[in-house]
């Protein structure tokens, strides 16, 4: 499993979380468990913590359950989406947590398993579900969404300037036959791409990203999950988030900034406790992987890491 998955920015994540994980019985949530690289390292490094690991991918969860079995009852693994942090903690009888880690985006295993349809470079059914018990697939989106909705998701989630052209061509092509494989979708996109744009890079990348985000409702889930995770932190608790594209990072940045500034009205002579910032930012902007990290683990190349510490309870 270690050969399949190299945890991104592992040492930096551990360094940022460490001050919050020293007390016996401290609880840390790995909200995106994946293949368990970060979780295993946390359980080894901080031998008195309890870990709650969440993942919507039941196949990854099965593998990680075996990986973390040596830690016994210190690891609690749950099949769920990460915006369900409050419900999971309530069911486990946990009132507050010391730390939480988010490693967003598609996992290494999901990318590497061609049959799951995440990659535009390998032909496979257009599935893209992180949770294969969910109903919505990429093929269903391409079959059922109208042209306006296809244009919207390509534009909003893929930042695709040719979104109108691609949406129109997809609607035309699906009248002939269903678009059910990645190879057919790539061929449709290639045929609809002007030669000049084709030279700028593989256009399918942005369309596939947009479809994946829509299938898994990634941004909507993240907008609920980050505030919920912060609210679950105890004072002195820490949150670390790794994003891999600007849409994710924008959501994290906005929530962190909102909670890290005073809400006191201008001119107020004394800042009341309820106006003080809830968070202290632990990184200056978003940290990037250095050259050594990118060489060792190419999937770290687009990462943007942000971290914060909880300063006070909400008013």
- Please check if 110 is assigned to a binding site: yes
User: Residues in the chain with pLDDT < 50?
Assistant: 1-3
| Residue 55 is assigned to a ligand binding site | yes
Q: Is residue 145 a known part of a binding site?
A: no
Residue 290 is labelled as binding a ligand: no
pLDDT digits (tens, 9 = 90+) for 105-145: 876 655 556 556 677 778 899 999 999 889 999 999 999 99
Could you tell me which residues come within 8 angstroms of residue 154 by beta carbon, excluding any fewer than 6 positions away?
160, 163, 166, 167, 206, 207, 210
The answer on whether 38 is annotated among ligand-binding residues is: yes
pLDDT digits (tens, 9 = 90+) for 145-160: 999 999 999 999 999 9
CATH of domain 10-109+218-310: 3.40.50.150
Q: What is the pLDDT of residue 114?
A: 56
Ordered strands of the 50-55 beta sheet: 75-79, 50-55, 27-30, 97-103, 233-243, 304-310, 279-281
Looking at 3.40.640.10, 3.30.70.260, 1.10.150.170, 1.10.287.370, the CATH number of the domain 114-216 comes to: 1.10.150.170
Q: Is 287 helix (H, G, I), strand (E, B) or coil?
A: strand
Per domain, the residue ranges of the chain are 10-109+218-310, 114-216
pLDDT reported for residue 1 = 47
> Is 37 flagged in the annotation as binding?
yes
Mapping DSSP to helix (H, G, I), strand (E, B) and coil, where does residue 19 land?
helix
* Predicted local distance difference test score (pLDDT) of residue 42: 98
């Amino acid at each position: 499993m270690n050969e399949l998955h190299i945890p991104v920015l592992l040492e930096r994540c551990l360094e940022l979380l460490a001050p919050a994980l020293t007390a016996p019985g401290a609880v840390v949530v790995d909200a995106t468990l994946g293949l368990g690289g970060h979780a295993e390292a946390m359980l080894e490094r901080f031998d008195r913590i309890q870990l709650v690991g969440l993942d919507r991918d039941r196949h990854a969860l099965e593998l990680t359950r075996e990986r973390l079995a040596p830690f016994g009852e210190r690891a609690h693994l749950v099949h769920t989406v990460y915006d369900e942090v409050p419900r999971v903690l309530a069911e486990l009888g946990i009132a507050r947590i010391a730390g939480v880690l988010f490693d967003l985006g598609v996992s290494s295993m999901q990318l590497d398993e061609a049959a799951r349809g995440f990659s535009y470079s390998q032909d496979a059914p257009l599935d893209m579900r992180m949770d294969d018990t969910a109903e919505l697939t990429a093929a269903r989106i391409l079959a059922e969404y109208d042209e306006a909705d296809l244009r919207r998701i390509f534009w909003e989630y893929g930042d695709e300037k040719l979104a109108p052209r691609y949406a129109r061509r997809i609607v035309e092509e699906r009248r002939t036959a269903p678009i059910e494989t990645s190879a057919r979708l790539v061929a449709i996109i290639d045929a609809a791409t002007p030669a000049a744009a084709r030279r700028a890079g593989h256009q399918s990348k942005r369309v596939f990203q947009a479809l994946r985000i829509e299938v898994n409702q990634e941004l909507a889930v993240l907008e609920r999950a980050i505030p919920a995770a912060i609210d679950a932190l105890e004072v002195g608790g820490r949150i670390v988030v790794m994003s891999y594209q600007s849409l994710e990072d924008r959501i994290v940045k906005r929530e962190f900034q909102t909670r890290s500034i005073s809400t006191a009205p201008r001119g107020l002579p004394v800042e009341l406790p309820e106006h003080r910032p809830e968070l202290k930012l632990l990184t200056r902007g978003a940290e990037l992987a250095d050259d050594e990290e990118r060489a060792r683990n190419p999937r770290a190349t687009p990462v943007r890491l942000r971290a914060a510490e909880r300063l006070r309870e909400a008013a």
